[in-house]
Structure 1
């Protein structure tokens, strides 16, 4: 028996609440169970109970055994002086207040529905499962599942919003500067995301504003800060970038000591940082006030048009500075733009609306559901249990479910886990 399960039972009143009696015989009537406390101190604050017809307001503490009160040294902690009821699975000793009166104890053993206990045990008893409910995930009610996925999607946006809010604080609320950093990170994808992010953070966005009228100047800025212009290469384009970067470095007093190394190993050539940096330069060369345009755009087709940018001429016949390749116009693909919308645009729109005191959940849901589901190990595994992930909203929600609930055994805080526990 776990305390988390007893918290769940108390919070949701999953016991026969009529004719409750403390172990010492007092009648207990639950008016309100109190506010669940996730931090230190009693488990539930501000509960209201009638104990033998006397109304009590105070805190409730929950343990597996009554003696855990002393095991956790609560008798020495003033935070527990206002406990009005001790709720336990098994009562094995009395617990006293400082005035030597007994704190009423409610023993739950025998009060919890046997089916609920068995369903709970079933979730956690088997080992070596990908997720605790993998044998029953398919049977989850579709209505419960869809509503839970929408909530998880918003939870994931809230988590991403914290990163954006921190960047806003660092940039004195410059949304364009935050967009640049977030876009840069996602242009680097998983392998080079941190490197691209560190490159973007090494450049004050005012410098991007001053140089974005010339694509080659932007490329020199990005390649130079990325540490990709320090080789001995005899090429006119390359030498031109080196010369331009040296000028920019001196003019703007640039430093790149904290920029992380860029990786080429095991990447498709189309994802080489050289190509992505040139495309990023092309994006900012094509669009002034990009953030405003993004806020005004609400359809995925329009985002595909907005991000229809390509590399400079040199990169049409190169993937690296040294080696020439077959001529190919390297435009941002629809699938790549979808990833930018999922990981940058939607979180920024959400955070911007939140800061303005507006709600645009329906608009964000519409964008997310118009993008095809991502494919990765987590999504494929969930789809193997139940074909569920159709859109980006679903895939983002399932990533949140796996990383923040399944991996942390938070089944009691999960709508799916709850539905399986109370299933008859």
Structure 2
């Protein structure tokens, strides 16, 4: 079989090969138009938004049918729509509505033995291929949608789901009203932060609800900037925040705690500064029973010296010196624009102006956190904790402050945001770019166009 396939492929001319994607797409669309390819969720959309021909509605037994209320989409187990209201002949029925591609799917899904489906008043199908009896022996009323859905709607749905672009509606989203796009991005960014807040709640539980300590752990991980995020998180877990408070007035001891716990002081040094750090840490390690990390877990390869973990640790120690228990201070700052100053002007030890590692000198090393790095911390740690704390305490002011902060930060520049910008979407700030990232990962990659406000608008276009 494989040999045959290879020969057939080899025999095709270059022009025929170029036509293959078009031909395959055409065949799949034809399959969709016959109702054999699209998922059941497409019929949910058609029913929910009444996107089918309502003229002269009749059940499959020719009894007149009127749709008074399509009901509410059920996101959980049980019938697809609840609280539907229909009229069959002269009788009005209120109850559940179930939707399938074929009538026989009712039996295939074993609904006939599930009490949750006893109150189904109408079975909506694309193709009626089997009579379904209720428990009392009466036939379940069926509405067949085959022939009532416009081929253009099916084709638009196929165009969304079958293309190989970076995201399904990349060819259409640029024509959608900005208000609609922005409105759905606002929804997705809230979804994103709610999901992150849920993950954060697990960390809080492990720390007995200590928000300051949870923030300290998250901030440390953020200082690793992906490459060294895990070592920074391990470092924070190995060095509880309350230890710093006892040495707040001694910068050398704070720095010794940081570099020693990170595993960088288990060496022989000739320079005075690292020698002092090592002596201080030997005492502090015994006092607090600290267990240094293995230095090999830190990554230096293919990084600019300004991003080396040694420089980041020096900045982190300086941040601790400048303002311990940072989260409490963040909660008291009402103006989001003032949050940036917390990470500026850090008292980094002068040693790091001429070194990017112990024993390795350099010329004019920048010791301050760059603006883009501060933006990263404000986005991924500060805004998240303001949002999560606001939700946890039911304090809308903190949630509003988090959103305002996101609107003041620049949009992220990555492959996802670039693909949306190239498609004509305006991402004016981090609030929008975070929404786009969530949209891509939660809706686009899962082909959930039927649950997306942008996808629904595209399908409704004529």
Out of 51, 59, 79, which is 2:96 matched to? 59
Give 1:187-206 correspondences, 5 Å limit.
Answer: 187-206=223-242
Give 1:235-314 correspondences, 5 Å limit.
Answer: 235-255=271-291, 261-308=297-344, 309-314=346-351
**For 1:256 and 1:76, how far apart are their aligned partners in 2?**
61
Q: What is residue 445 of structure 2 aligned with on the other side? A: 407
Task: Work out whether 1:339 is the aligned partner of 2:339.
Answer: no
1:388 Cα deviation (Å)? 1.2
Contact 2:160 2:168 in 1 (8 A): yes
**For 1:52 and 1:73, how far apart are their aligned partners in 2?**
29
Task: Work out whether 1:49 is the aligned partner of 2:117.
Answer: no
3-state DSSP of counterpart to 1:319: strand
1:276 Cα deviation (Å)? 0.9
Task: Work out whether 1:178 is the aligned partner of 2:235.
Answer: no
Out of 424, 429, 452, which is 1:386 matched to? 424
Give 1:117-128 correspondences, 5 Å limit.
Answer: 117-126=154-163, 128=164
3-state DSSP of counterpart to 2:447: coil
1:331 Cα deviation (Å)? 1.0
How many correspondences in the alignment?
A: 423
**For 2:87 and 2:228, how far apart are their aligned partners in 1?**
60
1:16 Cα deviation (Å)? 4.2
In the superposition, the TM-score normalised over structure 2's length comes to: 0.84
Contact 2:336 2:401 in 1 (8 A): no
3-state DSSP of counterpart to 1:220: helix
Unmatched segments (≥5 aa) in structure 2 = 1-37
**For 2:315 and 2:117, how far apart are their aligned partners in 1?**
60
1:171 Cα deviation (Å)? 2.1
Give 1:31-180 correspondences, 5 Å limit.
Answer: 31-126=68-163, 128-180=164-216
Q: What is residue 225 of structure 1 aligned with on the other side? A: 261
Contact 1:195 1:260 in 2 (8 A): no
Contact 2:51 2:149 in 1 (8 A): yes
Question: CA separation of 1:249/1:99 partners in 2, compared to 1, >3 Å: closer, same or farther?
Answer: farther
Alpha-carbon RMSD: 2.4
Contact 2:97 2:123 in 1 (8 A): yes
1:300 Cα deviation (Å)? 5.0
Out of 358, 364, 373, which is 2:402 matched to? 364
Contact 2:71 2:85 in 1 (8 A): yes
1:82 Cα deviation (Å)? 3.0
3-state DSSP of counterpart to 1:6: helix
1:186 Cα deviation (Å)? 0.9
1:13 Cα deviation (Å)? 2.5
1:18 Cα deviation (Å)? 6.3
**For 1:67 and 1:116, how far apart are their aligned partners in 2?**
25
**For 1:300 and 1:143, how far apart are their aligned partners in 2?**
25
Question: CA separation of 1:202/1:62 partners in 2, compared to 1, >3 Å: closer, same or farther?
Answer: farther
Question: CA separation of 1:29/1:255 partners in 2, compared to 1, >3 Å: closer, same or farther?
Answer: farther
Task: Work out whether 1:373 is the aligned partner of 2:411.
Answer: yes
**For 2:166 and 2:194, how far apart are their aligned partners in 1?**
26
1:187 Cα deviation (Å)? 0.8
Q: What is residue 7 of structure 1 aligned with on the other side? A: 44
Out of 310, 323, 334, which is 2:360 matched to? 323
1:238 Cα deviation (Å)? 2.6
1:338 Cα deviation (Å)? 1.1
1:417 Cα deviation (Å)? 0.7
3-state DSSP of counterpart to 1:247: helix
Question: CA separation of 1:32/1:211 partners in 2, compared to 1, >3 Å: closer, same or farther?
Answer: farther
Contact 1:310 1:330 in 2 (8 A): no
Question: CA separation of 1:359/1:19 partners in 2, compared to 1, >3 Å: closer, same or farther?
Answer: farther
1:366 Cα deviation (Å)? 2.9
In the superposition, the TM-score normalised over structure 1's length comes to: 0.91
1:332 Cα deviation (Å)? 1.5
Highest CA radius of gyration, 1 or 2? 2
Contact 1:198 1:260 in 2 (8 A): no
**For 2:347 and 2:327, how far apart are their aligned partners in 1?**
19
**For 1:224 and 1:20, how far apart are their aligned partners in 2?**
77
**For 2:106 and 2:337, how far apart are their aligned partners in 1?**
60
1:234 Cα deviation (Å)? 4.0
Q: What is residue 33 of structure 2 aligned with on the other side? A: none
